Structure 1
Amino acid sequence: MNYLNTFRIPYIGLKLGQHIFEFEINKLFFNEYEYSIVKDGDLKAIVTIEKQETLMLVNFDIEGFVKLSCDLCLNNFPSKCHIEEKLIVKFTDNEEVNEQSEEILVLTKKDYEFDIASLIYEYINLAIPFNNRCEDPGNTAACDREMIKKLETLSSDQNNDEKSKTDPRWEALNKIKKQ
């Protein structure tokens, strides 16, 4: 059985009103997506559906930790994640669906369930920061201290080399600049 099948919500049998679904998101979930930025995590998604006559209001509340690779020391570290998203699901008789957007999902009357796995996957990946670093680089248990020390020595050696390579004709201008 495909693991992502557990993330399908059959809405045909739901009565009007509010319904709450809970999903556990872990390594098995991220393994289903081959090129995922996130490879592991421990998250809980609470999906609240308010079913009405012609539409459904879906609220996603995803909270937990994802394991990211640090951009500084390349070690894996847990990053706290809290995501709140809203989605409107409309029903239509028309087979041609042309009014979908990021906040609106349109389903035909023939559909009986909708898959939220791809939505949860997108929400998690969009919540990942552009620069992945822990809160206190070099001082947490997840940090690779040897790698950080090596980077510091390499960067200080490079700065010293750049200073020694400065053209002596610029020294007079540097003196003016410092005044």
Structure 2
Amino acid sequence: MKPMKEYAIPFVGLKVGNHDFEYNIDQTFFDYFEYEDFNDVKVKVDITLNKKSTLLELHFEISGYVNINCDVTNEPYNQNIENNFDLVVKFGQEYNDENIDILILPHGEHEINVQQYIYELIVLAVPVKRIHPGVENGTLNSEILDKLEELSPKEEKEKEDKDIDPRWNTLKKLLTDK
């Protein structure tokens, strides 16, 4: 996959110290990755690059929402997300990204592309189980929820109590009369 130029941060001309970068991510970003779980995306990414003489420190912070479908009802809703990540960029003989928190770039590189880190931060910020807030608080009216309620097993405790031999009820009292 060819990297997108707008997410390349050239660090060669930057002075030692902190530098801030801001990106607004929308659905076209995920269309590029061919990721189809999101209906809509509106996420702000703030990156602070701390350039030091021998390495770079990047601090990523994301906040916003992704519009996804509920796992229970398949109704779309906006899921708020927040996440952060720290990355240390060192320089060595060859490219190495085996360690999650450390990226080694070959000597002579002049920029770092952060699109993959942004993509992973947003995808990992979404909860594994996606439940519409209306399902949790009971305010969502949906045909699927009505059907699930209709098909759920009913309480049969009252019927069971009527069918029990009365001698067993006397024995149950022994457990509670301690």
Shorter-chain TM-score category?
0.7 to 0.9
* Alpha-carbon distance in structure 2 between the residues aligned to 1:137 and 1:113: 46
| Runs of at least 5 residues in structure 2 that lack an aligned partner in the other structure | none
Alignment of 1:117 with 2:115, yes or no, is: yes
| Runs of at least 5 residues in structure 1 that lack an aligned partner in the other structure | none
Alignment of 1:59 with 2:56, yes or no, is: no
CA contact (8 A) 2:67 2:77 kept: yes
Which of 125, 147, 154 is the equivalent residue of 1:127?
125
Q: Give the 4+ runs in structure 1 shifted more than 2 A.
A: 2-5, 35-40, 97-100, 138-141, 174-179
Count of residue pairs brought into register by the alignment: 167
Shift of residue 21, structure 1, vs aligned partner? 0.3
Paired residue for 1:103?
101
- Assess, with a 3 A threshold, how the Cα gap between structure 1 residues 38 and 101 changes in structure 2: closer, same or farther: farther
Paired residue for 2:77?
77
Which of 141, 150, 168 is the equivalent residue of 2:147?
150
- Identity in percent: 32
Q: Is the radius of gyration larger for structure 1 or structure 2?
A: 2
Q: Which has the higher mean CA deviation after the structures are superposed, 148-157 or 56-65?
A: 148-157
Shift of residue 113, structure 1, vs aligned partner? 1.2
CA contact (8 A) 2:17 2:52 kept: yes
TM-score by length of 2: 0.79
Q: Which has the higher mean CA deviation after the structures are superposed, 144-153 or 66-75?
A: 144-153
* Alpha-carbon distance in structure 2 between the residues aligned to 1:177 and 1:134: 43
- Assess, with a 3 A threshold, how the Cα gap between structure 1 residues 124 and 38 changes in structure 2: closer, same or farther: same
* Alpha-carbon distance in structure 1 between the residues aligned to 2:35 and 2:97: 29
Paired residue for 1:33?
33
* Alpha-carbon distance in structure 2 between the residues aligned to 1:146 and 1:67: 20
TM-score by length of 1: 0.79
User: What are the superposed Cα offsets for residues 131-172 of structure 1, whole Å, 9 maximum, x if unpaired?
Assistant: 10133417688x562221111112246x77xxx9x9xxxx78
- Assess, with a 3 A threshold, how the Cα gap between structure 1 residues 6 and 74 changes in structure 2: closer, same or farther: same
CA contact (8 A) 1:30 1:39 kept: no
CA contact (8 A) 2:3 2:115 kept: no
Tell me the amino acid that sits aligned with residue 40 of structure 2. D
Shift of residue 130, structure 1, vs aligned partner? 1.3
Shift of residue 40, structure 1, vs aligned partner? 2.3
